[in-house]
Amino acid sequence: MARGRGPMTLLILGGTGEARELAKELAARGEHVVSSLAGRVVRPKLPDGEVRVGGFGGPEGLARWLTENDVAAMIDATHPFAERIGANAAEAARETGTPLLRLARPGWTERPGDTWHWAEDLDHAARLLPALGERVFLTSGRQGLAAFAGLDALWFLIRCVDPPEVALPRRREVLLDRGPYTVDRERALMERHRVDVLVTKDSGGAMTAAKLTAARELDLPVVVVRRPPRPETASVTTVQDALTWLDAETKGSPA
């Protein structure tokens, strides 16, 4: 950050570990950092600095908030599958001239011994499942579970942080849990429930990657849902790179 001036207001569209880490670094520098959370998780892990919960009212509402709060820069550090807020952020940034950065962890990479089947979305994942197994470990989060509701011939172990409030498969068990997870624990869970296929989104990161290693060790097929496209904008994959970008973008910002 540029020195010799008062703190800037920086908006982080958050909800990820990277967003919390970035907020911590910026708060330690003395910046006025505001983290915006969607409010979909009942008891989220709160970042350092100011926190606001809930939507802005579309791109127009976000643009108005950026202007009213004199935001120097906005960082979209939301989940890779939070495509709506990503589109809203890009439109609001264009309208207001606010510098925008996308901070997104890299996706997962298939390794030797993996048997991955890529799906374009959750509906596509559901169509792939009957040919791959009968006992499904479903780790795609509670949003979109209705895509699997009609698969009555399959049994599902559904893991999510909060109780799902949508239509669910008839034959299922719901496990409420939050990462990080270990390989031993994931392997034991899959063996105990006799899982024969895993479904996940390509979220990336280490916190939930253990299930992929466990599936590889158990020689299980994995259905991986591709990330949705995001608007073209400056992007980085690490918090340190985000700090470097902010230093360059805000150099000489007035107090």
Cβ distance 1 to 8 under 8 Å? yes
CA atoms within 13 A on the CB side of 235: 14
pLDDT at position 251 is 76
pLDDT at position 252 is 56
pLDDT at position 40 is 66
CATH of 115-225, one of 3.40.50.261, 3.40.50.720, 3.40.190.10, 3.40.1160.10: 3.40.50.720
CATH node for 9-106+229-250: 3.40.50.720
pLDDT at position 2 is 40
What is the C-alpha separation between 59 and 56, in angstroms, rounded? 8
Cβ distance 72 to 8 under 8 Å? yes
pLDDT at position 1 is 40
Cβ distance 210 to 183 under 8 Å? yes
Q: Among 21, 66, 19, 64, which residue's Cα sits nearest to residue 38?
A: 19
Indicate where the chain has its CATH 3.40.50.720 domain(s): 9-106+229-250, 115-225
Cα 222 to chain center, whole Å? 19
Query: Which residues of the chain are modeled with pLDDT < 50?
Result: 1-4, 254-255
